Amino acid sequence: MERIVKQNLLYDFYGELLTAHQKEIYEEHILNDLTATEIATDFGITRQAAYDMIRRCNKILESYEERLHLVERFLTAKEKIKEIHTISQRLLREDKEQMKEDIRQIESVSNQILEDL
């Protein structure tokens, strides 16, 4: 999975478990796509402190996922729903084709009955 998508999903699921300060800095990095240098400037901290905070938040969020597997379950459910949708669409198409064939047969039988009369 793409790193940015994974980070966003982890934040969506577990972000509320971070402290207010961690959330503030991590949001700037993940949601606003700021670099550690830009964050450091905005918050009046060193670039290294911003970088360390981002890394620490990544580790915290990943550790929650290792224990709870909510993102994994979400992605699995999403794939299964997609599969169900695909199958149901195929069944609808097949049912329509079957219905068309049934109508053709009914018309054919009806025409034969009318001709016999």
For position 117, what pLDDT does the model report?
58
For position 96, what pLDDT does the model report?
76
Q: Which range (29-38, 44-53, 74-83) has the least confidence?
A: 74-83
Strands (E), the chain: none
Rounded Cα distance, 117 and 114, in Å: 5
- Percent helix / strand / coil, the chain, rounded to 5: 90, 0, 10
Per the listing, tokens 């001709």 go with 115
pTM score > 0.85 for this model? no
CA proximity to 22, closest of 64, 49, 54: 54
pLDDT above 80: residue 39: yes
